[in-house]
Structure 1
Amino acid sequence: MKRALVTLTPPESKRLIAKAVVAMPEVQHALKHGFVYIATGTTAAYVAEEILGEKIEKEKWTVGVISKGRTCVTPKQTWPKHLVLYKGEPFDDPLEALKRMGPKDVFIKGANAIDINWNVAVFAAAPDGGTIGKTFGWTITKGVFTITPVSLEKFVPTPVEESAKLTGIYSFDWGTGLYSALVPIPHSHPVTEVEAYRILAGVEAIPIAAGGAGGAEGSVTLVLEGDDEAMEKAKEVTKAVKGEPYLEPYTEDCSICPFANICGLGSGAF
């Protein structure tokens, strides 16, 4: 048995997790025989890159975003469309895909929180529930295999089913950014750095520390354990993601933001 100490920055973690998601047998099967629906989001953009084999402007591949020290949205003129593939080829009707998807198909959606019980939740600020509001009914009732790629930088100690009760776009008197509801995704299969190392290298990853400074903010530090062959593979996997660059800040101009009335900054409440 060998052991290693590894620190990953948030973008390094996202790249690692994306590679693991694509390697999952459920995803590989769906790419060949069915639907893979990737809902927009910065972490999901890494997954899309790994599947498509091409670069995406990841900071623009989302609507909601936490950036510049606040909950926010990206500029409306660049709001992206979800990526839907059928048998590995682009499928242009997301609603039709949702109608046709079943347990052997895959839905991929990032998250804003993963709790002590490994339950995940995502922010929603649009009155209609945004992405999760429009897709949740289809995926949960038909048993679509739902994957949530989420780094442990988003770990929260409060169970998400409890913290969700405190939120809602009309629930706050003031705040430092966009008011949002936290929506649990109870049927999701989270993929963190722990699962990623298990999938890609067959080693155990034990989170032991978090945070950093000077370009390591949000990092997670893990102990990896495994036999000689698996640990060599883990080393190569780690080398492949080290140096992944941070995304550039990309947010809407508050003076023209369509969500200004539910934002502490946009409404002038803060």
Structure 2
Amino acid sequence: MQRALVTLTSPESKRLIAKAVVALDEVQYALKNGFVYIATGTTAAYITEEILGEKIEKEKWTVGIISKGRTCVTPKETWPKHLVLYKGKPFEGEPIEALKEMGPDDVFIKGANAIDPNWNVAVFAAAPDGGTIGKTYGWTIAKGVLTITPISLEKFVPTPVEYSAKITGTRVFDWGTGLYSALVPIPHAIPITEIEAYDILANVDAVPIAAGGAGGAEGSVTLVLEGEDEDMERAKEITKQIKGEPYLKPYTEDCAKCPFAKTCGLGSGTF
């Protein structure tokens, strides 16, 4: 048996989680035989890179974002489309057409903004129609589509997400430091954190023991890894591969032309 102490920065965690999601048997099966629907988001961008084998501008592969110390959105002219693959190739139809056809053997991947002590996850929704989760939730839950949520432990919150959902919304706030949003639970999602990632990729136990840092380690998580010698050597190699993953560049919309200005503390001038 071996034991190791590992600190991962936020981007390193996202790369680790991305590799684990792609390695899942269910995802590999869907890539070969059915649909893999990847909703846009920064963590999902890492998964997209792992599947496609090419680099993308990850900071632009999202609409909603928490950046520059505020909840915000990216510039509208670069809002990306969801990536839908059918048997490993880009789906030629619209994403909604894929959702209509998907079933239990297919995979829907959606990042999130919170994971609570019960391992329930939730995502921000700021658009009037509920954004991505509002447009896709009915299709995935009604047909039993396997929903995977890649989410780092940096997003762990002590508040149960079912309570958070009751006190958030785009029109319930009087002022704030950014875009007003609702936190929407995804009850049928299977979260993949650093804990699950090390288990999937190396068959080792990962125990989170600390979080945060400074000087480039903000948002980091510190883990104790434990496992058999051979598995721990694999974990070491995986950790070496992801160390040094660069941070994403800040990328947000100009408040003067943001379509969400009226439901934002900064855009509306209430803060």
Q: TM-score range by the shorter chain?
A: over 0.9
2:88 maps to: 88
1:149-188 Cα deviation digits (max 9, x unpaired): 0000000001000111100000100000000000000000
2:53 maps to: 53
Query: Is it true that 1:34 corresponds to 2:72 in the alignment?
Result: no
1:1-270 aligned at under 5 Å gives the runs: 1-92=1-92, 93-270=94-271
1:58-89 Cα deviation digits (max 9, x unpaired): 00000000000000000000000000000000
Q: Would you say how many aligned residue pairs link Structure 1 and Structure 2?
A: 270
User: Please, which runs of 5 or more residues in structure 2 have no aligned partner?
Assistant: none
Q: Distance in 1 between the 2:95 and 2:255 partners?
A: 30
Q: Distance in 2 between the 1:60 and 1:163 partners?
A: 27
User: Deviation at 1:259?
Assistant: 0.2
Q: Distance in 2 between the 1:163 and 1:131 partners?
A: 19
Q: CA RMSD in A?
A: 0.4
User: Deviation at 1:140?
Assistant: 0.3
- Report the identity percentage: 83
User: Please, which runs of 5 or more residues in structure 1 have no aligned partner?
Assistant: none
Structure 1 SS opposite 2:4 = strand
Q: Distance in 2 between the 1:75 and 1:32 partners?
A: 34
User: Deviation at 1:23?
Assistant: 0.1
1:3-34 Cα deviation digits (max 9, x unpaired): 00000000000000000000000000000000
Q: Which amino acid in the other structure matches residue 120 of structure 1?
A: V
Q: Which amino acid in the other structure matches residue 208 of structure 2?
A: P
